[in-house]
Structure 1
């Protein structure tokens, strides 16, 4: 930088800005962001770091393009009346100064304000740090290279997008975060543009070597993943299933697809093209409730008479119609995910055109797996015959009342179905029907099988079960099927093994007007 006035102005500006920035760090309240407000699911520091990275990339692009619009007013205030070449030179220096300021702020956010800042050191570095970015009479300017964001820098805005637009939360969010944490540990936190197929292969091999229960053992909790693989090799511990490996690669595939759309990764998606072979046919992997087992289940004390509320597996004369009674019945006829129905409130039980349905949504903090999970599920005629609407009327008179008020949140995701799942396992053991895989989710496979056997087309099945379609029409253009079509389809789910009955008539008091 040849003009001493410009160099002095930039040094003074940087020195003053550094002091103001440090003061802002010191005076910002705990939990508040220095540069931006915290986002949903992110701490103030995480949001600040993401904002810094975004601003830094933008300023570097402005420097390379000689786009000085963002700092023109500052340049004119510092040294008014400059000729165009000197004015551009000053403005580009200001952009570089702001890049340095953001870098210092990132350092403070990461390491803390642990020592006094030697301003002279930073200002002396300024003259050498600002590149010559304008054309001289005999030399073309050389722009600074930008290798793009690192993995940890690219991750927060991506997860924010998935949370807001794709409905990532609860277990889905936790699983995907775990994938990205494991990948960074395995392959390092590097600029995303530098990852290649060999890195994904390394991660693939690491996953295949991990024990299936590696995260639940205290013995391994403090060890690096590579050390867990090394210590457990040849020990006979069951390894991570291919289904789980595939889920990890699906999460990475979505991330790299996002990076490609943003131009931050060039080339083929490195997470695609891997194989995840499993033994046997996929449809034989998960069991479903049917035949003698299904008949025995609903002939057990919860539905035929138990001894007391705390002794549900012992035969007696008491039938208690609460969540333990209704949730398995709802699962059998609707194929819902447990949490979808466990968190229902009165206003979610609705009627439109004489068709009663359950509105699955994520309003007021309710959790759904993804956007496709939000849907309308007509109530099966058999469930209505059993008195479900009368139960809702008696249990949840107000719109915000929960349908199953006894359920309490629990587990890492604070799901309402947590305690039911624990009870459901104990109950199946007590009545001699406990089998691995024959759980609540097995009702879902049964409904899928029944709908397919009844020749219900795939897009209707997807709509009822909350699955994303495979075609463009299903995924993008189809915005919900008529309730009448869905109701006709769900009525085709029939179980000859199900013998539970209810002689009491449906209450007429629970009207569509009240439900609305």
Structure 2
């Protein structure tokens, strides 16, 4: 097919010949025939020699077989048998290089594409596979490409499984041949009614039951139940679109009903996140709950590392002793042997260690883990949440703390990154934005030069150290942070009062919402993971 299309375009560009060939027609020919193997050199030579003479009667016969627009003349089996013969004929017409043969090639491509659609639509719905029949095959295929741009990571696979489960619960395990744009529209409307916390607990009911309960609660005058956002619905449609693309490739369906949908939404949640002002940091780290935890616990250390580095919660929780270099005084955020990798290409980076972390005893923590032969700096963490992330429980603990203390919803764990960036961006003298991006782990912005976005691969550690050295907090913040990380243990009476206080009554669904905002739970779908 590549050979045929190349020849058509070559003739169309020849000033001595005028060829009427619309792009749509070429695209139809490609879509219809691209599933066949491309002819290699030897096959092509033999074919070209065999058909140079040409036979217009063959063209007329095949056009007759394809039938009219109204009545399909081919069964699905006949159609599949004819595909190879049609490819040979199209190639034959291009080899002949005549105006008539090119016009015939265009007509054939149109008729072939039309016949394909009519054959598929003529099949009864029960002749096509069920939605679930090839879902696992599709996921296995996408996981097999995980090293490529279009491959699925473990997180994307998990999110796609959720999409498949929701479709079966809301619409049923339908035959894919019966699923139309009207079906997709109904699915879209139902998704917008699904409670946002559905699936957070293994005891959650199926989606239809959850919708019914939420509707009844609101009808009885209770507060409105938060439903799935338009962003999340868009991600589910992206998953469905990928599955249907695979089904199209294997001739199980004739069209993709999940393409070309609009998902209007408000400003992204990440833009609404606030940073942590100095006064709020003082109040946060004064919480006696920090002093309840063991001295080397994640509860004490993970927020401190985030505040002094701008690293993501999952990056911190994944740290291993070998990821800390005291010779370079830097964290090395990189891909691990177990398959975990930073969020983006920019996420793989060196992050200088802030001098305040050393003063807080961070080197002692690393030395202790090495002496224990621990795999990670925080070995007690277990995978949690829908994506199996180590940062899931620390994010839940932090959310419970800050909600119980009355901090606003848009101040979350991820706000530490906004705080760090705000501090260093306002440093004097000003620092280059590209140095800050490289330290924080952000991709270059849209206004960056091509060289910056495409060709710049790394910055010297001394440039990144300028960013961390510029990160300063007032003495009051550092004093309360030191108390939170290294402070004395509280008495048993204080522990009891803490457990019986406001933190014990924090709404569980509110905590789950905070975890999502921290980019630990389900995130917006990006093809390729």
Q: With the length of structure 2 as denominator, give the TM-score of the two structures.
A: 0.54
1:480 to 445, 458, 470: 458
CA distance in 1, matches of 2:254, 2:344: 26
Q: Distance in 2 between matches of 1:204 and 1:361?
A: 38
Residue aligning to 1:375? 349
Match of residue 460, structure 1, among 412, 435, 440: 435
Q: Distance in 1 between matches of 2:339 and 2:297?
A: 20
1:499 aligned partner:
478
**Structure 1 residue 488, shift from structure 2 partner:** 0.8
Helix, strand or coil at the partner of 1:498: helix
Q: What is the aligned partner in structure 1 of residue 275 from structure 2?
A: 288
| Cα distance in 1 for residues equivalent to 2:79 and 2:150 | 46
Q: Residues 155 and 69 from structure 1, CA distance in 2 versus in 1: closer, same or farther, beyond 3 angstroms?
A: farther
How far apart, in 2, do the equivalents of 1:387 and 1:132 lie? 71
Paired residues for 1:75-154 under 5 Å: 130-131=81-82, 152=135
Query: Relative to structure 1, is the Cα distance of residues 417 and 366 closer, same or farther in structure 2, using a 3 angstrom cutoff?
Result: farther
Which structure 2 residue ranges, 5 or more long, are not aligned?
Answer: 1-31, 52-75, 90-103, 121-127, 484-529
1:277 maps to: 266
Shift of 1:199: 7.2
| Residue of 392, 399, 405 corresponding to 2:379 | 405
Give the conservation status (yes or no) of the 8 Å contact 2:231–2:263: no
1:335 is aligned to 2:310: yes
User: Taking CA–CA contacts closer than 8 Å with sequence separation of 6 or more, which of the two structures ends up with the larger relative contact order?
Assistant: 2
Instruction: Give the one of 320, 327, 333 matched to 1:360.
Output: 333
Question: In 2 relative to 1, CA 485–346 (structure 1 residues): closer, same or farther, beyond 3 Å?
Answer: same
1:472-515: per-residue Cα shift (whole Å, max 9, x none)? 55553332222221121122222224223779xxxxxxxxxxxx
Q: Return the offset for 1:349.
A: 0.6
Matches of 2:83 and 2:150, distance apart in 1? 44
Give the corresponding residue for 2:322. Answer: 347
2:467 maps to 1:489? yes
Q: 2:197 aligns with which of 210, 213, 221?
A: 213
Inter-partner Cα distance in structure 2 for 1:380 and 1:481: 18
- The 1-side partners of 2:238 and 2:423 are apart by 29
Pick one of 218, 225, 238 that aligns with 2:226. Answer: 238
CA distance in structure 2 between the partners assigned to 1:254 and 1:478 by the alignment:
32
Q: Secondary structure of the equivalent of 2:325?
A: strand
Cα deviation, residue 250, structure 1? 6.2
C-alpha deviation, 1:217, in angstroms? 7.8
User: Matches of 1:404 and 1:446 in 2, distance apart?
Assistant: 24
- List gaps (5 residues or longer) in structure 1: 1-56, 73-83, 86-124, 313-318, 504-516
Distance in 1, matches of 2:361 and 2:287, equals 19
* 1:358, distance to aligned residue in structure 2 (A): 1.0
Residues 58-117 of structure 1 deviation map (CA, whole Å, 9 limit, x = unaligned): 99614x9799969x9xxxxxxxxxxx89xxxxxxxxxxxxxxxxxxxxxxxxxxxxxxxx
- Counterparts of 1:131-210 in structure 2 under 5 Å? 131=82, 152=135, 156-162=140-146, 165=149, 169-179=153-163, 182=166, 190=176, 203-210=187-194
